[in-house]
């Protein structure tokens, strides 16, 4: 079994990913979604946590001249710190906005301008939070080697956004692998898999259609 499919099995097994096409979750944006992903759950399982970090390390090996690791707050921080420890590299993390007190930092830790940083995120949805972190790092003088993440919804718009920002993106698992694993294990039916595939192509239209039918 390939790595994306193996990791997808782990995500489903511990409930880091939940699939509910008949009873969708509501995101903070108000959109309805048939999937919920919380990779922080993985931190409670040492064996799976170790496997995830090893897979992230392998993905990082495809990036050139990585000299530091930058985690995206908040969920990217623990996985980024564990990866930095595994690779023996300096670590910083990037807040979503400047801290409102003290030194008012956006980037915590000692960033070395001119060094090439690998950005670590737990989940790629639209890619917005990750690319904002990339922008903050670049403004602080860092070079960006690329981004690695545990899981991606594989939204076409997100893939285009990373390409436009000239940021290589590698993930250790993805939406297609998750659907393959969930279907083959019997966790979802073929009809539910089709609904989940439709959602990925146009989440807003899927959400609006579900809401109108509810």
- CA angle, 160 then 125 then 68, to 5°: 80
pLDDT, mean of residues 5-25:
95
pLDDT, mean of residues 135-161:
96
79 is in an annotated binding site: no
pLDDT of residue 19: 95
Assigned architecture for domain 3-208: 3-Layer(aba) Sandwich (3.40)
CB of 37 closer than 8 Å to CB of 8: no
129 is in an annotated binding site: yes
pLDDT, mean of residues 62-80:
94
42 is in an annotated binding site: no
Checking if the pLDDT of 173 tops 90, the result is yes
123 is in an annotated binding site: yes
Helices 175-184, 190-201: crossing angle, 10 deg rounding: 170
pLDDT, mean of residues 144-152:
98
CB of 61 closer than 8 Å to CB of 54: no
Checking if the pLDDT of 69 tops 80, the result is yes
Give CA separation, 44 vs 14, 38, 40, 149, in Å: 10, 12, 8, 18
125 is in an annotated binding site: yes
Checking if the pLDDT of 102 tops 60, the result is no
Q: Tell me the domain boundaries of the chain.
A: 3-208
pLDDT of residue 99: 63
Encode pLDDT of 23-48 as tens digits. 999 987 788 999 999 999 999 999 99
pLDDT of residue 85: 97
Checking if the pLDDT of 214 tops 90, the result is no
pLDDT of residue 119: 98
Mean pLDDT of all residues belonging to the chain: 93
Encode pLDDT of 178-202 as tens digits. 999 999 999 999 999 999 999 998 9
- The least confident of 25-29, 89-93, 159-163 is 25-29
């Amino acid at each position: 079994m390939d790595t994306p499919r193996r990791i997808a099995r782990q995500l489903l097994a511990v409930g880091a990913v939940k699939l509910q096409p008949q009873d969708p979750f509501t995101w903070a944006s108000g959109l309805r979604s048939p999937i919920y992903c919380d990779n922080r759950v993985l931190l409670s399982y040492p064996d799976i946590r170790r496997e995830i970090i090893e897979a992230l390390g392998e993905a990082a090996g495809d990036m050139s001249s990585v000299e530091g690791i930058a985690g995206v707050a908040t969920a990217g921080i623990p996985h980024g710190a564990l990866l930095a420890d595994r690779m023996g590299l300096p670590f910083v993390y990037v807040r979503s906005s400047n801290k409102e007190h003290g030194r008012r930092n956006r980037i915590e830790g000692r960033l070395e301008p001119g060094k090439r940083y690998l950005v670590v995120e737990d989940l790629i949805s639209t890619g917005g939070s990750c690319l904002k972190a990339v922008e903050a790092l670049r403004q602080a003088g860092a070079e960006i080697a690329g981004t690695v993440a545990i899981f991606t919804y594989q939204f076409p718009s997100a893939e285009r956004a990373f390409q436009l920002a000239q940021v290589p993106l590698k993930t250790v698992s993805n939406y297609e692998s998750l659907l393959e694993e969930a279907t083959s294990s019997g966790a979802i039916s073929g009809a539910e898999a089709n609904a989940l595939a439709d959602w990925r192509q146009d989440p807003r239209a899927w959400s609006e259609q579900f809401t109108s039918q509810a």
